[in-house]
Amino acid sequence: MKNQNKTQVAVTGLKIKTSTVLLAAAVIALITPSAATAGPKSDHRGGAAGRRDHEHGGRNENHNGGRGKRSEGGDRHHREAPTATLLVSGLEGSQGSTVGPDGALYVTENLEGRIWRVDPETGQVTTFASGLPAGLFGIGNGGVVDVAFIGKTAYALVTGVASDSGGTSVVGIYRMDGPASFTVLADIGEFNLLNPPTIPFHFDLPTGFQFAIETYRGGFLVTDANLNRVLRVTLDGEISVFIDFDNIVPTGLAVFAETVLMAEGGPDPHTPQTGKVVSFGPKSPTATEVASGVPFLVEVEFGGGGRLYALSIGTFDPITDFAVPDTGALVKVNGDGTLTVVMDGLDQPTSLEFIGDDAYVVTLTGEIWRIDDL
């Protein structure tokens, strides 16, 4: 990666490649019925940044959470716009997340090599796993960056810790065997060293820089934002290239049957036109655009009723080479290929989960926000 000493997420300034396929029609058909119910764009009173100024009751400096106050009192089901509540703060480099088999949130903390369990109602935070390789260059620059479950077993995605980053640990998928014990399931770094990209472009880390992990057909898909591709990994640790791209920065993943939805950050300078959601399948040589129009997308997720949402980390600043604080947004994917802002003012959000009609947004700045009434 460029400028390893910067506090930034892995997608910054990386070079990749672009593609297209025939699955977009099916995906658009899936999301079109919900397009008419797209949530209204919030003003800053409803945005996370604005509510952070007023809802200190939602903060918990000891990581014990607690629901913050809701604005515009009354029954939540009668509100016209979603509201944001700060559920947790004070985490150290939170980045990836998932909903576990027990219905709780599981969030990675790269600075400490830890996975947190978060009660989605109370915000109570407890350590689920620790002792994983920590990031070497600050928040958002490697270590444990995402987590997924198959059954009751958790699998952690670890990146940016091998010798090409100045570390001595394995880049890959770690199976959690206990609260402080694990087994390397797949050495993705070694695979990448032996199987470099076949499409010529510049990259900085031969072991790659992985961003997200998603379960798929009994195994996993992993995005690599430095080597410009998605890998498939089986539970036996077998690794293969699922699909590769050009300069588009692959980030978050969601799966519907065998169709894969993926967010693209887009090449520098991450303009709105290059932030996209695309789709592809197991036999797709290229990917098809589903929607675009918001910069620096880092996540895509299905919400209640099968509605598709995406997450923008914010407006790209070429001077800092990163997203401007408090410019992130939760957006809804419409059937006509557009994106509607549902909640803006988010501070460098990186991961999104849904439990019922509520969205949970994890930020690089160590916060978890609950957005109600979606």
Look up the pTM and report it: 0.82
Give kind and range of the element (H or E) at residue 222: strand 219-224
The whole-number pLDDT of residue 58 equals 35
Burial label for 25, CB within 10 Å (0-12, 13-18, 19+), is exposed
- Partners of residue 144 on adjacent β-strands: 158
Q: 275-293 b/e with 16+ CB inside 10 Å = b? A: bbbbbbbeebeebbbbbbb
The whole-number pLDDT of residue 80 equals 63
- Low-confidence stretches of the chain (pLDDT < 50) are 1-26, 28-30, 32-79
Q: Please check whether residue 232 is in contact with residue 240, taking contact to mean a CB–CB distance below 8 angstroms.
A: yes
Q: What is the pLDDT of residues 277-305, one digit of tens each?
A: 999 999 899 999 999 999 999 999 999 88
- Partners of residue 351 on adjacent β-strands: 362
The whole-number pLDDT of residue 25 equals 44
CA dihedral 362, 365, 371, 374 (to 10 degrees): -50
Q: Please check whether residue 349 is in contact with residue 328, taking contact to mean a CB–CB distance below 8 angstroms.
A: yes
Q: What is the pLDDT of residues 38-79, one digit of tens each?
A: 333 333 323 333 333 333 333 333 344 433 333 333 444 444
Give kind and range of the element (H or E) at residue 330: strand 328-333
Q: What gap in Å lies between CA 223 and CA 69, rounded to an integer?
A: 37
